[in-house]
Amino acid sequence: MNFSRNTIGKVYELRTLPEKESGKKPCARSGHRCVADKTRLYVFGGYNPNIETLKRYYDDFNAEDIETIIPLFDELWEFNFATSRWKKMSTSGPMPTELASMAMILVGSTIIVYGGTGYPFGITSSNKIYTLSTKSLEWRCHEPEEYSPVPTYGCAISVNEGNVYTYGGTTGWSYISNVDRYNMQSREWTSMYDSSTDWSHHFADPHDHVTSPRPRYRHEMLSDQNNLYVLGGGTSGEAYELDIIYIFNLQTKTWKKHQSKNDEVHGYPANRRCFGCCQLKDYAYISGGLNERKMHDDIWRLSLQDCQWTKCSAKLLFPLYFHASAVTPAGCMYIHGGVKTLIGDKRSLKLSRIWLVVPNLLELCWSKVLHLIPKIQRMSVPQLWQLGIPQELIERLDYEDH
């Protein structure tokens, strides 16, 4: 089925299989994050305040616990691209407890989580780095030492040469525009830019000649070898523009306010926050989000080389914000969950995908094999060898679960 939905540049909803043991899939949620490698999508955290939804999701839900239940999901799910099956992962070690609007990124086989908030939002926020090995499934907490950033949620992170860079976020009462760096080897934090040098105490008005971005949250950040790129975001009552790209140079530690290039037909993306964002080589892809007037279902591409915007012809299944998105190394973007209404009362549990580029021959052939042999995971490994299927593809089938 999925092979017939491999058309480049179109969004398709995926038919997914539940976890074998529980018969469940991830509950509808928002404020979560996801990352992807070539074989799996990893979905972590999230929020859903609907009690009826939570009752259906948790088998051991006790009616007496309604007043004390926390509507956050302290769980990690994986979705296997080859088998189309969800699996709730059993991890060890200290899992983050701030499970909404954190930042998450995948580096090799390590998931890095930073920031986020518990519930109620803003009462507890994080300034800790957590890492999870996708091989050992062991969490590790990197405790702040002498210097540490302001605890925030709705922040953004990027990784460059062994350093984790964080930008922005909110404490729940004020918004931040700082840039901080965490070295994964020395485990030390360094302040790269303190926004109080450019902005007034209440972060309302800048001092003279300011080129740094306004304090914000639920923005996104991209990187190349030399720079960080900040897109969109805003406050609880305002969404910021995307025609202006704020670029932070990692060597000079200075900001540049850069005017991007518009799509000749469609102009610029509308102001927005709480949107999805993925980076594939030198391109960023944003999806959905909202501003003061409307929710969005559009998809845009930004070139980091010349800051050229291009509107994609594809659209999301429906307007979304606070959803999660991730892209595989082969160029397939996955979109999961999110809020479906402006008043925030309905959340999605759907998973969709779009090929952003033409996949390589290996991925095309593998998709065709999965389409022609839908129960391929029931075949033995020697049978697959006999068909000439490479070992690296056989390993995508999670044979330890069969």
For residue range 76-122, what is the model confidence (pLDDT) as tens digits? 999 999 999 999 999 999 999 999 999 999 999 999 999 999 988 88
What's the pLDDT tens digit per position in 161-187? Answer: 999 999 999 999 999 999 999 999 989
Instruction: Give the whole-angstrom CA distance, residue 172 versus residue 205.
Output: 19
Provide the 8-state DSSP code for 401.
G
Distances, alpha carbon 395 to alpha carbons 15, 18, 86, 110, 144, in Å: 22, 20, 16, 19, 38
At residue 9 the predicted structure's pLDDT band, cuts being 50, 70 and 90, is: confident
At residue 402 the predicted structure's pLDDT band, cuts being 50, 70 and 90, is: very low
At residue 348 the predicted structure's pLDDT band, cuts being 50, 70 and 90, is: very high
Phi-psi region of 382 (alpha: psi -120 to 50; beta: other; left: phi over 0): alpha
Distances, alpha carbon 92 to alpha carbons 141, 324, 378, in Å: 12, 24, 30
Q: Which residues contact 264 (CB under 8 A, 6 or more apart)?
A: none
What's the pLDDT tens digit per position in 284-329? Answer: 999 999 999 899 999 999 999 999 999 999 999 999 999 999 999 9
What's the pLDDT tens digit per position in 44-81? Answer: 999 999 988 888 888 766 655 655 677 999 999 999 99
> What phi, psi does 149 have (nearest 5°)?
-70, 170
- Scanning the structure block, which residue is given the tokens 């070539």? 38
Instruction: Give the whole-angstrom CA distance, residue 167 versus residue 180.
Output: 7
Instruction: Give the whole-angstrom CA distance, residue 228 versus residue 293.
Output: 29
Rounded to an integer, the average pLDDT of 230-259 is 96
What's the pLDDT tens digit per position in 333-344? Answer: 999 999 999 999
Distances, alpha carbon 361 to alpha carbons 61, 248, 339, in Å: 47, 37, 36
Distances, alpha carbon 36 to alpha carbons 64, 119, 293, 329, in Å: 38, 27, 32, 8
Q: Look at residues 288, 187, 181, 177 and name the one whose alpha carbon lies nearest to residue 230.
A: 177
Distances, alpha carbon 95 to alpha carbons 43, 111, 152, 154, 256, in Å: 14, 12, 17, 19, 37
Mean residue pLDDT across the chain: 91
